[in-house]
Structure 1
Amino acid sequence: MGPSIRLNNVGLKYGDNVILQGITHQLQAGQCHVIMGPNGGGKTSLLRSILGLTPFSGDIQIDWAEQKGTIGYVPQKATFESSLPFTVMDFILLNQSRNPLFWRKRKKEQDYALVQLDRVGMASRADRRMGQLSGGEQQRVLFAQALLDSPDLLVLDEPTTGMDEQGVRYLEGLIHELVQENKTILAVHHDVSAVRRLNGQVHVVNRHLVDSGSVSEVLVPEKIERLFNHYSIQPAPRVEPESVKENQKDVA
């Protein structure tokens, strides 16, 4: 069973720049939670705070039903140099084996890694160099690696960045499977159509928590434009043309 996550007055700022402020909320266990909002609104910062990767004020509690489970994380993207010699299988096994990178791999580890690669449609590319894959294919490999420890909490930062439609469908199917297994999924996502297909709980962050609820409650046409306007955008002051200013002087 995945955990629930409790946020109590969570804030984050860099110098005088406020990124997050006063976020108090609870994310229920065993559900898919999608964090949305405008660019620069603090989505990834909230994710990194929950993972303990960045300092924050307030309190964040990950509440496990019984004993502490495992956490999987897929970053927004990773860059691999094409000349590096390690393959997809080498990369997948980095967290599976205590042996050196190019040591002879145990067949049991390889077979399990192939199962996870197959879940994201990448088993046929196990012998390819990571640097030869497209950005979307690399994301799928990162997703497969995150599945190796059967995580009870899976955290995804823009997981479909650079993916083609086939890759997106693989991941959406996997997320539905994991929710059926009562895992907790926490994802930053920007694609409204994709989030509707995930049909989870949506939490709109724009420095504050702006809105929260089901897809049908939050992602409705009359709300979307307002929800995704950045908090720092102010209307530009109106500058009167010089001719208007002169006329105003004459009238005065």
Structure 2
Amino acid sequence: MGPKILLDNVGLKYGDNTILHNINHEFSAGECHVVMGPNGGGKTSLLRSILGLTPFTGRIDIQWPEKQGKVGYVPQKAVFESSLPLTVMDFILLNQSRTPLFWSRWRNLSKQQAFALEQLERVGMAERADRRMGQLSGGEQQRVLFAQALLDNPDLLILDEPTTGMDEQGVRYLEALIKYLVNEGKTLLAVHHDVTAVRRLDATVHVVNRQLIDSGSVQSVLTPEKIERLFNHYSISPSSDDQARGKAA
């Protein structure tokens, strides 16, 4: 079972620039949560704060149901040099074994390869296992990164724009996989920008624009009359909490 995530007065600043301000919220366990909002609104910064990859103020409490589980992460994108002789299979095996590739005398290599192919099959990339990472499209690389994040069977999976650059087939693969993982009781937290795709996921939607602006079901948040207001840019000062919430009401 995935964890519940509690945010207590979470804030983040870079110099004088406020990225996140006074976020108090709870992400329920065992659900798919989608974070949306305008560019520059702090969505990725919120994920990085939860992952512990950036300093923040306040408190973030990841409450595991029993012992601490594993966390998987899919970044927005990665860059692979096209001339680098690193195949898709090499990349998955490297992350699976945590062993440098030139240490080739692995035990149970065939077993590791079979497991790697299983994860690649889940994202529709098994047939490209011998392709170089740098020769894949951006969307195909994202699918491989998703497969890599599944290697440890994480209980909490954090996705930053996981469908960036994907064709419709890739998007559908990931949507089906996300629904499957939620049915297993895992907690998923994803930044997403595609309203139509989010509606298909039927996730809980949280709109962030430096503060938490709105939260609820797809049906209650992504209504035609709300969408334009929710994705407008506006500045939030430390003294304007109530005013900001009033603009989104």
Using structure 2 for the length normalisation, give the TM-score. 0.92
Asked if residue 153 in structure 1 is aligned to residue 167 in structure 2, the reply is: no
Cα distance in structure 2, aligned partners of 1:216 and 1:99: 46
Displacement after TM superposition at 1:32 (Å): 0.2
Identity, % of aligned positions: 78
Give, in whole Å, the separation in 2 of the partners of 1:104 and 1:80: 25
Q: Secondary structure at the match of 2:97?
A: coil
2:142 aligned with 1:168: no
* Contact 1:10–1:21 under 8 Å retained in 2: yes
1:200 to 177, 199, 203: 203
Aligned equivalents of 2:234, 2:62: Cα separation in 1: 28
Moved over 6 A (4+): none
Deviations 1:181-234 (A, max 9, x none): 00000000000001101101000000110000010110001110100001139x
Correspondence for 2:125: 122
Task: Please report how far the alpha carbon of residue 83 of structure 1 lies from its aligned counterpart in structure 2 after TM superposition.
Answer: 0.4
- Mapped partners of 1:99, 1:56: distance in 2: 33
RMSD between aligned residues: 1.1
Supply the distance in 1 between the matched residues of 2:98 and 2:10 (Cα, whole angstroms).
37
Q: Give deviations 1:7-49, integer Å, cap 9, x for gaps.
A: 0000001111000000000000000000000000000000000
Supply the distance in 2 between the matched residues of 1:99 and 1:79 (Cα, whole angstroms): 21
Match of residue 52 from structure 1: 52
**Given the alignment of the two structures, is residue 86 of structure 1 paired with residue 86 of structure 2, yes or no?**
yes
The structure having more radius of gyration, on CA atoms, is 1
Counterpart of 1:215 in structure 2 is: 218
Work out the number of aligned pairs and report it. Answer: 233
Q: Which residue of 2 aligns with 1:11?
A: 11
What is the Cα deviation at residue 98 of structure 1? 4.4
Structure 1 letter corresponding to 2:214: D
Q: State whether residues 158 and 188 of structure 1, in contact with CA within 8 Å, keep that contact through their aligned partners in structure 2.
A: yes
Check if 1:189 corresponds to 2:192. Answer: yes
1:229 aligns with 2:232: yes
Task: Specify the code of the residue in structure 2 equivalent to 1:226.
Answer: R
CA separation of 1:104 and 1:124: change in aligned 2, threshold 3 A: farther
State the distance in 2 between where 1:87 and 1:37 align.
Answer: 35
Return the alpha-carbon distance in structure 2 between the equivalents of residues 132 and 228 of structure 1: 35
CA distance in 2, matches of 1:104, 1:136: 32
Q: Which stretch shows the higher mean deviation, 153-162 or 90-99?
A: 90-99
Partner secondary structure for residue 13 of structure 1: strand
Distance 2:235 2:223 in 1: 23
Shift of 1:95: 1.9
- DSSP-derived class of the 1:166 partner: helix
Question: What letter matches 2:224 in structure 1?
Answer: P
TM-score, structure 1 as length reference: 0.91
* Letter in structure 2 aligned against 1:124: E
The answer as to whether partners of 1:86 and 1:130 remain within 8 angstroms in 2 is yes
